[in-house]
Each structure stands twice: as structure tokens, then as C-alpha cells.
Amino acid sequence: MPDQDPLDSYSRTVISVTEAVLPSVASLAVRSARGNGAGSASVIGAGGIMLTSAHVVVGVDAATATFADGTEVEADVVGRDPLSDLAVLRARGPVPEPLRLGDASLLKVGQLVVALGNPHGLAGSVTAGIVSGLGRSLPTQAGRVIDEVIQTDAALNPGNSGGVLADGSGRMVGVNTAVAGVGLGLAVPINETTRSIIATLTERGRVRRAWLGIVGAQVALAPALAERIGSPTGLQVAGLAEDSPAAASGLHRGDIVVELDGNRVVNTTAVQKLMVEDAIDRPIEITVWRNGALVDVIVTPRELSLR
């Protein structure tokens, strides 16, 4: 038998991705009042723009980034968004070329992905696996949920946070953010929503969001209402935050939210997606199901404060 090629197609793909992506991935060292910490970051834009996880740079204004070729630069924290667990840094010196950004919405379950980062301080580490699931939800320390999270079985460990999840073409499709268990890693997707967040952080240093003050609960709907809104479940107002826009609007505990600003609402995630900067201080209409009838309520969201 002829000698078999020691590099099969899987290995070639992982090696190709590593060679393309790893030079632009840095080990990140941070120092804060809480002590020393470590994570990963990647170059994503001209002028030394870098991306990491927000929880990696909590309480710090700058970090030290070290690349695979030995390049070491200080990087200033431009902005953090705890609600998406993303943060943008700007390097003070020359850094490698930016990565190509992909679109996580095009991923398929079973697709090859490669994770690159700095687990346990082991710089330049590479693991490979598959997309194990899509559309997962990840609670953040800020109390909201990140949607459309990528689940992978590529090994992740502390220090991988902020690192790259790349597809087989070497495009960055996610930011590794959490280790949920053995063989279960999670990454914030690179998609239209997160690209907008990254751009806003780069330009303004923060992301403004609107706030209603609704405490929602997912409930099964009566057949008539389920047919009307096209969903077997809906969002019930389980509570109203004190002195909130929702409390002042006339919303009642027990109301079923049907529409918000002309958009169908079936869960809390749908509300969060609509609470963007444009909604701040703008009267919007909420349609609710109350006592067997549709009722319209006008509410004016305020800016969400994370302090």
C-alpha cells in the first residue's frame, strides 16, 4: 500500500485556519483592584482595534496584549458592553493584520470550528471541534440574556474568554465567552447585531439601550389568543419595577404583551431586541391582552442604567 498522507483534510483545514488566524490573536493580561487576570483578544480593525469579552476587562482601563510573534503592546479599553459581553480595545502600538469577520447566522450544526486563545496562560493554544448547537441563550452578569449564542465542543478553559472562534475558512464567527461544562463551550456570535454593537463601542465607548421595567414570564396562551398572535406561548407581565416607565404607563400585572411598537412579542428576548437607543424617550405603543380584549397602552422608555 502506498504511504498514507499524514495530513488528512481535517488536519489541513485546522492548520490553515491556525496559520491565518493565530498571528492576530493575543494573550491579554489585566490588573485591577480585584487582582491580576488573563484572557484573550483579537485584532479586528485598522488602527489597532481589538475585541475581547467584557468580563475580561472589568474594572480596568488598559491591558497588555502579547501576540504569538512576541509583539507586546498596551491596549486601552475603548468601551465595554456587559449586556453582550463584548469589549473593544485600541492598541497603543503596531499590531498584526485584522482578522476577517464572518457571519455566524450562516453556521450549521456539525460544522467545523476552531478556537484560538490563551487558556490557563498557555498562549497560542488551538482546539478544534464542531458547532454543537445554535441559538443558545447565555445569562450575563448584568442581568440580561445574550441570544443566538454558539455552542461548541471545541475545548475551552479559563483564559479562552475573548478569544476567537473561527470557521473552516479562517473567518471569525464568534468570541469565546464561557465554559459551561466538559465539551460544552459558548461563544458570542459575530452577526449583524454584534457588528453594530462593536461599531458603537468603537465610535462612542458605550451602547445606549432603552428600559421599560417589565418583569416578564413565559406562559402558555389560550387557543384563541395563540391563534391570533401565531405562538402557543406569550409574555405575561409578572411584575413592574417601581418608578419605571411601564409602571407609569398603566400596564397591569397579568397583562399579556402582544405587540410593542408594531412588532409581535412572544418572549422577553423580543422586548430586549426592541429596546434600542432609538426607543429612549420616544412614546411607543404596547398592545396587551387584558380581560379578553386587546388594549393599547402608551409608554415612554428611559435609558437603561447599569450602575
Scanning the structure block, which residue is given the C-alpha cell 465542543? Answer: 153
Distance CA 198, CA 162 (A): 13
- Annotation marks residue 55 as catalytic: yes
Give long-range contacts, CB 8 A cutoff, 24+ apart: 192-196.
Answer: 192/103, 192/105, 193/148, 194/84, 194/86, 195/101
Among candidate residues 40, 53, 132, 161, the one labeled active-site is 161
Distance CA 270, CA 178 (A): 23
Among candidate residues 24, 40, 84, 85, the one labeled active-site is 85
Distance CA 41, CA 162 (A): 5
Phi, psi of 73 (to 5 degrees): -135, 150
b/e string for 2-25 if b means 16 or more Cβ within 10 A? eeeeeeeeeeebbeebbebbbbbb
Distance CA 17, CA 164 (A): 11
> Quick count: other Cβ atoms within 10 Å of Cβ 194?
22
Query: Cβ(216)–Cβ(268) under 8 Å?
Result: yes
Query: Cβ(11)–Cβ(149) under 8 Å?
Result: no
Extract the runs of DSSP E, i.e. beta strands, from 153-281.
164-167, 172-181, 184-189, 210-211, 214-220, 233-240, 256-260, 263-264
Among candidate residues 24, 40, 55, 249, the one labeled active-site is 55
Phi, psi of 196 (to 5 degrees): -65, -40
Query: Cβ(25)–Cβ(42) under 8 Å?
Result: yes
Active site residues: 55, 85, 161
